[in-house]
Amino acid sequence: MRKTLYLASLDVGLGYGSLLVLFYAATEVEVKEECASAEVEYEAKLTEVKAYPNGFRLVYTSMPGVVDIPEDGMAF
């Protein structure tokens, strides 16, 4: 199963700015579920979701844009 990297931005309020949440998803339904879960977990409002199929570099860390997950779900 091929999954794409997404970055969700959540507004935590109180002037603290945004919380960034990274996750991989295969379908739009999965994206919506992950975003809804993050809103509940962090008690914050979703402001933006963006796909990064080519990945990106974050402070000396490379995030692959797409990953292949075996059907049994075991990535490692």
How much is the pTM? 0.77
pLDDT digits (tens, 9 = 90+) for 38-73: 999 999 999 999 999 998 877 777 777 788 888 876
pLDDT digits (tens, 9 = 90+) for 9-40: 999 887 777 889 999 999 999 999 999 999 99
**Amino acid type, 18:** S
pLDDT at 49: 97
Residue with tokens 């979701």: 49
Q: Does domain 2-54 have CATH number 3.10.20?
A: yes
Contacts of 23 (CB under 8 A, 6+ apart): 5, 6, 8, 34, 38
- Distance between CA 31 and CA 28 in Å, rounded? 5
